[in-house]
Amino acid sequence: MTDTPNSNARQTANILNEALPYLQRYSGQTVVIKYGGNAMTDEHLQRSFAQNVVMMKQVGINPVVVHGGGPQIGTMLKRLAIDSEFIDGMRLTDENTMQIVEMVLGGSVNKSVVSLLNQCGGKAVGLTGKDANLITARPMKLPGKPDVSLGYVGEVDGVNVDILHELQQCNTIPVIAPIGTDSSGASYNINADLVASSIAIALKASRLLLLTNTPGILDQQGDLLTGLTPGDIATLISNGTLHGGMLPKVQCALDAVAADVSSVVIIDGRVENALLLELFTDQGMGTLIHDASV
């Protein structure tokens, strides 16, 4: 007599069947992930994130991780009694501060992400934008304030993806700290969302996933919005629904979609297994932004 599978086993089988078309869709595709927020600071969520990324690689997806580290930078500057000055929400970064930024992002944060991925069975390698001239940078200018200098705060001038292609061919997961360099060798701190978007564009990624500390884009009643087009985004900005810190994140998403990244999803990094839920389930996660023609 054959034993009847219990309900948990049947549920697992149903979940695997549900995931199959998504596994087939994304096999061989590149997915760029911006890793930040609570997912980087909560120990349980850190391991969940690492397991999700290793799972993606195991089933044939090519994940590329770009991480932030603002809170860690702030903590180190405070520990060293270095005061921070902000202009329009941007940290003024002098040479001394940039040295700390580079130490924290390219050192402790990057290597902790790499180590966790490797502990979970992956093969990860840490990079900054300075390695192999991955990210060239230029000084960032504030809109409407061309004469105001933020010091070593930069924006992406170009991406050299050769090293990323080589790592992907070696079945390796690149983990990138958002530091770029100019032609003179000076280092620049760049917003991680901007770096992730630029790399997704350069790699012609299938998806860009932006982990954050909100469920996604919410309407004025607090309900989650998804399936948004650039036109929808413009309306949400004009009526005041989208504002503040979400605006630069959304602009990165729009830049990626305009450059033929198939879709961008703003995902709640506070949810365990958020990446797998987005990629491999019918329900998905967060706010999906795509071109109107798709």
φ, ψ dihedrals at 174, nearest 5°: -75, 135
Strands 179-181 and 217-218: unpaired
pLDDT score recorded for residue 5: 62
| Secondary structure letter of residue 40 according to DSSP | H
Residue that is written with structure tokens 């934008």 in the block: 129
**152-184 residue pLDDT tens:** 999 999 999 999 999 999 999 999 999 999 999
Alpha carbons within 13 A on the beta-carbon side of 232: 16
Kindly list the averaged pLDDT for each block of 10 residues, start to end, along the chain of length 294.
67 83 89 89 92 95 94 90 79 89 94 97 96 95 82 95 94 97 94 96 96 91 93 93 87 94 94 93 89 70
- The predicted structure's pLDDT at residue 216: 92
Radius of gyration of the chain (CA): 20
CB 212 within 8 A of CB 269: yes
pLDDT value, residue 2: 53
CA dist 113 → 69, 185, 279 (Å): 11, 26, 21
Q: CB atoms < 10 A from the CB of 212, how many?
A: 23
CATH class label, 27-290 = alpha beta
CA distance 108 to 136: 22
Stated pTM of the model: 0.92
Token pair 């999700």: residue: 52
The pLDDT, as a whole number, for residue 38 is: 73
Domain regions of the chain by residue span = 27-290
Rounded mean pLDDT of the chain? Answer: 91
Strand, coil or helix: what is 88?
coil
